[in-house]
Amino acid sequence: MPSYRPSKRFNNIDDRLFPGLKAHRFDYALLSGDVSYSSPLLSRPGAAELQGATLVDVSGVPWHYENPLVEQRVVETGSAIIDRSHRRVIAVSGPDAKAFLHNLLSQKLDDVQAGFAAGAADLDIQGHVLHHMDLVFTGETFFLDVPAAQFDFLKDFLTKMIFWSKVTVDEADLAVISVLGIPLPAPAATVAERAVFWPGCPRQDILVPRAELSAAVTELESHGGSVAGLMTFTAERVKAREPELAADLDGKTIPHEVPHWIRRSDDRPAFVHLEKGCYRGQETVARVENLGRSPRLLVLLYLDGSAPEAPEPGADITLGGRRVGRLGTVVDDCDLGPIGLGLVKRSALNQGDFSIGPVAASVEPDSIPQDEGPKAGRAAVNRLRGR
C-alpha cells in the first residue's frame, strides 16, 4: 500500500484520502431538526410548538407562549429568554485545538484567548457553504453549536480530519439559551457565554448542561427576564439577515452572499476572516473579495400582509415572470408584519418589487450593501492595462 502524507493544504486532503468527502454535500431541503427532542420548557403554561412543515429548525422547543407578538415587544425594553436547546453542540479540545480548527474553518482561531466568540463556516473546495456555526472558546475547549440536522455531518468531518492532531471531537450535552435585548447575569450552571455580534438587537448566548436548562431559565427570570418563543428569535434573526442553512441557503451559496459574514474591520468578528492562512474554499473567498462580487445576495424582504396566506419557504422569487431567487425563512414581526429572507440575483435588485406566487415582496434597501470594500485585484489588473 503506498504511503500517504497529508498535505498541509486542506483543499487537497479530502479528495485523496476520503473519496467523496470533497463532495461532502447533502440536499438542504431534506434537513430537519431532531424530531425526537422535546424541551422541558414545553411543559410550561401556554408553550406551543410550531405546527406544520418548515425548513427552519424548530423541532422540540416552544415557538411561542400564547402571545407571540407581545413576546417580541420584550426585546425592545427588556430581556427575552429564548430556548434554543434543540441545537446540538460539538466540543473540540486538546493542545492542538486552535490550529486544528484554524486550518479547517473560515475563522482565524490560532491565537484566540479565552472568551473569544464568533461565527465560522466550513466550505467545500469550490467555496460553497457546507456548515456554518456559532462558537466560543473557554480557554480549554471550543464549543461549536449548529442546527440538529447539521450536527452529524460536521462532527463526522471534524473527526475524519484529526489525523495526528492532539485534539478530541465530542458531543457536549449542553443547551443553548439566547437572551435578546438587555443582557442578564449568567446562571450559576453556565459553561460558556458569548455576546453575539450580528446586525440586529443585542444578543447573549448562554450554554448550560442540558439537565440544568429549566433551572437556568428560572434563574434568568429571577433577574428580570421573560421567556419568549423561538418565533421571537426568528423574527430578530430575519431582521438581522442571519441565515439558517436549510431554510435560507442552498448548495451554491458562497460566503459573500451573506454580506455581514465578511470581516473588513476590527470592530466585530465576522464569520470569514480575510487575513488568515489557507483553508478549504479560501480561493473562492479571495477571488470574490479581490476581483468581483457575489452573484447573489441574502436580503430582507417585506411581504404583502394582505395576501390570504404567507408564501412557503423554498418558493420561487420572480421579477416580471422570471425566476430571480428563492424565499427562505418567513415569520410575522410585531412591527413589520410578514417578513422573510430571500437569496436573490444581484442583477435583479433595484429593478422593482418581486412576486412570490400571489404575494408581492419588496427589498429592505439597507440589506443591499453600498460598499463592499476596494477590489485590490481588480485595481491591479486595471493598472496593468493602463486604466
- Tell me what pLDDT residue 36 has: 85
- pLDDT for residue 1 is more than 50: no
Q: Are residues 312 and 200 in the same domain?
A: no
How far apart (Å, rounded) are the C-alpha atoms in residues 103 and 247?
28
> Lowest mean pLDDT: which of 26-30, 81-85, 155-159, 342-346?
26-30
The band of 372, judged by pLDDT with boundaries at 50, 70 and 90, is: low
Q: How much of the chain, in percent, has pLDDT values that exceed 70?
A: 87
Q: Are residues 288 and 323 in the same domain?
A: no
Q: Are residues 290 and 301 in the same domain?
A: no
Task: Write out pLDDT tens, residues 5-25.
Answer: 333 333 333 333 333 344 444
Task: Write out pLDDT tens, residues 208-267.
Answer: 999 999 999 999 999 999 999 999 999 999 999 999 999 999 999 999 999 999 987 777
How far apart (Å, rounded) are the C-alpha atoms in residues 181 and 71?
12
Structural domain includes residue 12:
yes
Q: Are residues 336 and 276 in the same domain?
A: no
Task: Write out pLDDT tens, residues 29-70.
Answer: 445 555 689 999 999 999 999 988 789 999 999 999 999 999
Q: Are residues 43 and 114 in the same domain?
A: yes
Q: Which residue type occupies 263?
A: R
For residue 213, the SS3 value is helix
What are the backbone angles phi and psi of residue 369, rounded to the nearest 5°?
-65, 135
- Tell me what pLDDT residue 387 has: 55
- Tell me what pLDDT residue 365 has: 95
Average pLDDT, stretch 372-384? 47
Average pLDDT, stretch 108-122? 96
Q: Are residues 258 and 325 in the same domain?
A: no
Please indicate, yes or no, whether the overall pTM of this predicted structure exceeds 0.85.
yes
- pLDDT for residue 327 is more than 80: yes
- Tell me what pLDDT residue 92 has: 99
Task: Write out pLDDT tens, residues 301-324.
Answer: 999 999 888 899 999 999 999 999
- How many domains are there within the chain? 2
Give how far Cα 365 sits from Cα of 350, 353, 369, Å.
9, 12, 9
- Tell me what pLDDT residue 378 has: 44
Q: Which residue type occupies 166?
A: K
Residue where a domain terminates, one of 294, 314, 329: 294
Query: Taking a C-beta distance cutoff of 8 angstroms, is the pair 161, 17 a contact?
Result: no
- Tell me what pLDDT residue 344 has: 98
Q: Are residues 307 and 264 in the same domain?
A: no
Quickly count: other Cβ atoms within 10 Å of residue 19's Cβ. Answer: 9
Q: Are residues 305 and 282 in the same domain?
A: no
How far apart (Å, rounded) are the C-alpha atoms in residues 387 and 385?
6
Give how far Cα 33 sits from Cα of 88, 206, 234, 343, Å.
10, 20, 15, 22
Q: Are residues 155 and 237 in the same domain?
A: yes
Q: Are residues 110 and 248 in the same domain?
A: yes
> Lowest mean pLDDT: which of 256-270, 282-296, 325-339?
256-270
Burial of 182 (0-12, 13-18, 19+ CB in 10 A): middle
Cell of 214: 429549566
Structural domain includes residue 78:
yes
The CA radius of gyration of the chain, in Å to the nearest whole number, is 21
- Tell me what pLDDT residue 81 has: 99
Structural domain includes residue 285:
yes
Helix residue ranges per DSSP H, 200-324: 213-222, 230-239, 245-248, 282-291
> Lowest mean pLDDT: which of 91-100, 259-268, 362-371?
259-268
What are the backbone angles phi and psi of residue 117, rounded to the nearest 5°?
-145, 140
Average pLDDT, stretch 164-175? 98
Q: Are residues 327 and 253 in the same domain?
A: no
Structural domain includes residue 166:
yes
Structural domain includes residue 387:
no
Helix residue ranges per DSSP H, 223-352: 230-239, 245-248, 282-291
Q: Are residues 226 and 326 in the same domain?
A: no
- Tell me what pLDDT residue 34 has: 59
Average pLDDT, the chain: 89
- Tell me what pLDDT residue 23 has: 42
CATH assignment of the domain containing 355: 2.40.30.160
CATH assignment of the domain containing 284: 3.30.1360.120
Q: Which residue type occupies 190?
A: T
Residue where a domain terminates, one of 253, 270, 294: 294
Structural domain includes residue 383:
no
Residue where a domain terminates, one of 249, 270, 294: 294
Structural domain includes residue 3:
yes
Domain that holds residue 342: 295-367
- Using alpha carbons only, give the angle 110, 281, 87 rounded to the nearest 5 degrees: 70
Structural domain includes residue 382:
no
